[in-house]
Amino acid sequence: MNTASKIMARTLKLALIQMEVSAVKAENLMRAMSLVGEAKKQNADVVVLPECFNSPYGTKHFEPNAEEVPTGQSCTSLSDAAKTNKLHLIGGSIPERLVDNGTAKLFNTSTVWSPEGTLMAKHQKVHLFDIDIPGKITFKESETLSPGRGLTTFDIGSWKVGLGICYDLRFNEMATIYRKMGCSLLLYPGAFNMTTGPLHWELLIRARAVDTQCYVAAIAPARTKGAGYQSYGNSMLVDPWGKILCRADADEEIIYADIDLSTVEEFRQQIPVYSQRRTDLYDTVEK
Ligand SMILES: NC(=O)CC(=O)C(=O)O
C-alpha cells in the first residue's frame, strides 16, 4: 500500500503466520522476522504472528521470557520487521513485565506495529486461561499472569480492528462490544490445545464472525513434537458469513486471504441483525 491508499484501504491482504516456536528466544525472533519477510514477498499488507511467538506457551516459561514493552528485545525486532517490510504487524503475544505501583506484574501482551515501526496499540489478555478438565488439561495462567484491564482497537485504512488473545475468543460480550465500537475485523492470536481445540476452535471463530458480522482471524503456533503444551494449530480466517477463507493444519505455514469491506457492508445490509436487536429486552454494555 502507498501512503494515499493506506489512508483509504478497503481491501487488505492478510498473512497469518502459524510458526514453530522453540525454547530458544533468539531462534524464535529470527524465525518470525524471516517469515514476515516471506509474507511481504507475497504482498501482504497486514501480518499476524501467534500467541507466545517468542517462547513456548506455559506458565513456567512466562517469567524467564518476560520483557518490557516496548523496550524489550522482541518489541525491537517487531518494530524493525514492520519498518523494513513496510507493513502492519501484529506481534502475536509475548510475556510482558510491567512495574505497577512498585510491584512487577506479568501480562500476556500483543503489540501492534505501523509500517513506520511505531507502536500503534497493545492488548493485554483480558480473560486468563484458568481451566481444569480432570485427566485432560489443567492450566492456570492466573498463577503467574495478571489480567488486562481494557479492550483494544486500532485502525488500518478504513478498517477498525478489535484485538483479543486466545481465551478472550470465548467471550462473546467482548466481540459484541468490538462490533459496537465499529470494528469490521477481529484478530485473536491464540493457542488452543488438543483437548479443547478440535471441538471449540473453529466453532468459536465462526460463531464470533457470524455474531458480529466481522472477519475473524485466529493465529496459533504450529504443533511441536515433545512440547509441554500441544498447540492445536489450525490458524484460520473466516468471513462475516462464517465461511473459512484459509486454514492451516498443524505444521508451520503462512496462510493468506484478501478481505474486503464491501463484503462486511453487504452482509450487514442483507441480514440486518444489528438494527433488529431488541435492546428493550436485553442488552450488553452500550457504547
Ligand atoms: N490457551 C487459551 O488461552 C485458551 C484455550 O486453550 C481454550 O480456551 O481452550
DSSP 152-213: EEEEETTEEEEE--GGGGG-HHHHHHHHHTT-SEEEEE---BTTTIIIIIHHHHHHHHHHHT
Tally the domains of the chain. 1
- Grid cell 468490538 — which residue? 178
Task: Give a yes or no: residue 230 inside a domain.
Answer: yes
Cell numbers linked to 150: 481494557
d(CA 208, CA 188): 11
Q: Which residues are catalytic?
A: 51, 125, 166
Domain contains 285:
no
* Angle subtended at Cα 234 by Cα 233 and Cα 237, rounded to the nearest 5 degrees: 130
Over residues 95-122, the pLDDT tens digits come to: 999 998 899 999 999 999 999 999 999 9
- 167 pocket-lining for ligand 1 (C-beta < 6 Å): yes
Helices (H), the chain: 3-8, 25-41, 59-65, 73-85, 172-180, 202-212, 261-270, 273-276
Which structural domain, as residue segments, surrounds residue 169? 12-274
Q: Tell me, letter by letter, the H, E, C secondary structure of 134-162.
A: CCCEEEEHHHCCCCCCCCEEEEECCEEEE
Model confidence pLDDT, tens digit, residues 109-161: 999 999 999 999 999 999 999 999 999 999 999 999 999 999 999 999 999 99
Provide the pLDDT for residue 130: 97
Ligand 1 atom index nearest CA of 192: 6
User: Residue 220 has what DSSP assignment?
Assistant: -
Residues of the chain where predicted confidence (pLDDT) is lower than 50: 3, 7, 287
Within-domain flag for 286: no
Confirm whether 22 is domain-assigned. yes
Ligand 1: which of 61, 167, 219, 234 to mutate, judged by most atoms within 8 Å of the beta carbon?
Answer: 167
Counting ligand 1 atoms within 8 A of each CB, the residue from 59, 142, 169, 193 with the most, and so the one to mutate, is 193
| pLDDT for residue 3 | 46
Q: How far apart are CA 62 and CA 198, in angstroms?
A: 25
Whether 284 is in a domain gets the answer no
192 in contact with ligand 1, CB cutoff 6 A: yes
Ligand 1: centre distance to CA 240 (Å): 23
Residue 182: CATH number of its domain: 3.60.110.10
